[in-house]
Chain A
Amino acid sequence: MSKRRNWFCGSEEHRISRRGFLGTAAATAGSMSALNLLREPCLAAELKKQDKRVILLWLAGGASQLETWDPKPGRSTGGPFAAIPTSVPGIHISELMPKMARRMEDTAIIRSLNTKDGSHGGGARMMHLGRRDEAAVKYPDLGAVLARELGSADSRVPDNVSFYTATEGRGSAVGQAGFLGARYLPMSLTTNSKPDNLARLDSISDLDHQQRHELRELLSNRFIEYRDSSSLRSHNEAYSRVRGLMSSDKLFDVSEEPQSIRDLYGPSLFAEQCLIARRLVEAGTPFVKVSRAWWDSHGQNFETHLELVSELDHVMSTLLDDLKQRGLLENTMVITLSEFGRTPKINASLGRDHFASAWSCSLSGCGINGGTVYGATDEDGQTVKDGEVDAGDLFATIYQALGIDPHTEYHVGSRPIPLVHEKASVVTDVLA
């Protein structure tokens, strides 16, 4: 696999690999000003990209657009919740989100997703990959792409972390690195909020551990010397990062946070994991997915959303505040996304079913023109009336906002693979 690097300026000093550059830059920050690299526009942009982070709030099971970002009060499909005005004149959201309503300046809503796949498995894959896998190609998901694009090889923190502590829907939302290789798979936390087996065993000294690492590396490099295998290379890369990752275990420990901050986030598991996500992005992790299950409200949709949206509103607004106060929101994008939305029609169990034809997501922070709404559904929320967006368009928009050209191509063998599907276009209206 290779990649067409469209940031290359053509000059000899720029004829270096991006990873080499980033690695050098990170290691020799002191020499940067001497080299005056930041005055080179393309390299400055590349360096800037380094700082970009993403926290994906994965609302597993399918959150209702009608009870979050696209309320339809007064319509038979609208349900019992009112719409409330936000701090941005003209934008109304569900009354279940009063805290987000006061913080709309940093958030853009896309109300016109039509992703066509109303199955949990297919929809979740689609909204992780931005498209469907092909028979011959397994694509990397958003986390894997961002780990590659925004991460750095010598990072001492994991570059792709995924929390999915509930069990329902987890199988549909597992990380997929595809042709990028295992190096970019997420560190998956599925049983608690802290990685298991990350700490060095007490029975092994740090010197022993270092020596074992060097021996493994020596043997491994000899083994692959005359072999050309991307999987072997990614395997080695993963091992090469172990010592860095081991030093990051404190990032997952919320007891390291002041109690006042923990109290702000609240006591729920989702809140705790969002606080860890903030700790991770602050330390340099480029992609964190916090999955909150389970929104599949075929029965008692309104009770379910009263419970879950109230939590989302509190935790998301606290997260945005926290990132903003730390100066991180400019470089950190927070996304809310599901595999699909929920039917406007209310069923006899007072539930809503699966619905991928006209639903919503939100983008906040980095690269986003906050206080905007893009697209519209009809008055009952049954169809997209304006500005239809598919999964590829959404991914192209996310990449663009992060400073990644969405029309970049990777190469799998000799085959060029665009970052997003060929018809995808950026929703420029939501970009800063």
Chain B
Amino acid sequence: MTAHPENLKLIKEISRPDILFSVAALNETKVFVGSSDSKIHRLNTQEDKAEPSELSGHTSYVTGLELVGDQLVSAAYDGKLKWWDLENKAEIRSVDAHAKWIRRTALSHDGKQLATVSDDMVCRVWDAVNGNCLHELKGHQAVTPNHFPSMLYCCAFSQDDRLLATADKIGHVVVWDLQSGKEVKTIETPDMYTWDPKARIHSIGGVRSVAFSPDGKQLVIGGMGHVGNIDHLGGKSLIEVFDWEKGERLHQLADDSYKGLTERLVFHPNGEWFIAAGGDHAGFVKCIDANTGKTIVDSKASTHVHDIRLDDQQGMLVAVGHGKLSLWQL
């Protein structure tokens, strides 16, 4: 069985007292979640009462989890990357990776490189096994055009792991060549950033998710459209599909049904469609045709979704967010 968008259906929800920012799946039943309580919890999703067991060592929100062989790597707002021995529940290595919050991690498809992006506006690429820093990528401005701190929200490897995309608060996207460590393309997505110069004199928005298509031709970018009342996440969820080499926007999908941030984008391996998830006070999960930019199927989630993991072989999607872990059939 492989995942198919027409099958999208919520099959189970597990409530949690905390906010879950990241998820990694060991197999179809055992998942790890990164929490607002600064810990990593292991949950068995098949048990009626999912009893967590903890890995602890961070001092702030755990926003990135990646499985590297039989080890788990976690990243957090405390700026640290930690490697964990899952069998002994022990910390193997801790690296002071960034001076500010680590917003996102991405593991290369061959499992050898790990990318981290931070509000210090640097992307670092690490040897995923030994923790050595391989690249330090600097191409995002530290402050917004209005003189406030900017934020570097997300990153994603291309399928062949030769490229890495990073994106920031003001909608500046950079595609990097990982052999040279140089920029190969920049793309601007100004609709992702709302600066309110009159009513509130502050900003909201940014590019919160990015993904390459499996053939490497498309770059999909997610965030939120312009917002009138920026006190809330009141903008339409927004996705833009680019032919990144041409710098040409192919599709812009501003959703009338769902508001808030598109937090995660994950392509199906066949490249025909991708999953987008996120939300405002509530959440959404939707599947989008990559060629037309049209929504194939969508569903309201009971709460804001911060991270997803697709298990194509099992036809399963694990989503985590505000006080919830949810399992979706695909």
Contacts and interface: CB of A to CB of B under 8 A. Distances in A.
Given A304-B204, A311-B148, A80 B322 contact: no
A300 B233 contact: yes
Interface stretch (A121-129, A134-142, A228-236, A291-299): A291-299
A153 interface: no
A166 B200 CA distance: 6
B39 to A, nearest CB: 11
A303 B199 contact: no
A168 B232 CA distance: 14
A310 B148 CA distance: 8
Interface stretch (A3-11, A174-182, A344-352): A344-352
B37 to A, nearest CB: 7
Query: Which of A298, A346, A349, A351 neighbours the largest number of chain B CB atoms within 10 Å of its CB?
Result: A349
A321 interface: no
A23 interface: no
Interface in A144-167: 165-167
Interface residues of B, number: 40
Contacts of B17: 76
A105 B38 CA distance: 32
A98 to B, nearest CB: 12
B59 A82 contact: yes
Contacts of A270: 201
Contact of B260 (A268, A292, A303, A349): A349
Contacts of A81: 60
Contacts of A82: 59-60, 78
B94 interface: no
A387 interface: no
Q: Is the interface of B mostly helix, strand, loop or mixed?
A: loop
A95 to B, nearest CB: 10
Chain A, interface size category, equals 35 or more
A307 B203 contact: yes
B304 A349 contact: yes
B202 A298 contact: no
A310 B201 contact: no
B136 interface: no
Interface in A258-305: 266-270, 292-294, 296-300, 303-304
B68 to A, nearest CB: 25
A300 to B, nearest CB: 6
Given A297-B231, A299-B232, A346 B149 contact: no
A298 B259 CA distance: 14
Contacts of B321: 348
A326 to B, nearest CB: 25
B3 interface: no
Contacts of B59: 73-74, 82
Nearest to A300: B204
Interface in B195-216: 198-204
B84 interface: no
Contact of A293 (B201, B204, B279, B323): B201
A304 B196 CA distance: 12
Contacts of B260: 299, 349
A74 B204 contact: no
A295 to B, nearest CB: 8
A80 B151 contact: no
Contacts of B147: 266-268
Contacts of B304: 348-350
A74 B38 contact: yes
Interface string B304-319: 1000000000000000
Contact of B204 (A73, A269, A303, A347): A303
A424 B70 CA distance: 64
B36 interface: yes
A348 B302 CA distance: 10
B110 to A, nearest CB: 32
Contacts of B36: 76, 80, 346
Contacts of A308: 202
Interface in B178-233: 198-204, 230-233
A306 interface: yes
B61 interface: yes
Contact of B18 (A76, A165, A349): A76
11 contacts: A61-B231, A76-B18, A165-B201, A166-B198, A296-B200, A298-B232, A299-B260, A304-B204, A306-B151, A346-B19, A346-B36
Interface of A: 61, 73-74, 76, 80-82, 165-168, 266-270, 292-294, 296-300, 303-304, 306-308, 310-311, 346-351
Given A168-B199, A270-B201, 6 more contacts: A167-B198, A268-B148, A293-B200, A304-B202, A346-B36, A348-B282
Q: Which 3 A-B pairs have the closest CB atoms?
A: A294-B200, A299-B233, A348-B322
Interface of B: 17-19, 36-38, 59-61, 77-78, 101, 119, 146-149, 151, 198-204, 230-234, 260, 279-282, 303-304, 321-323
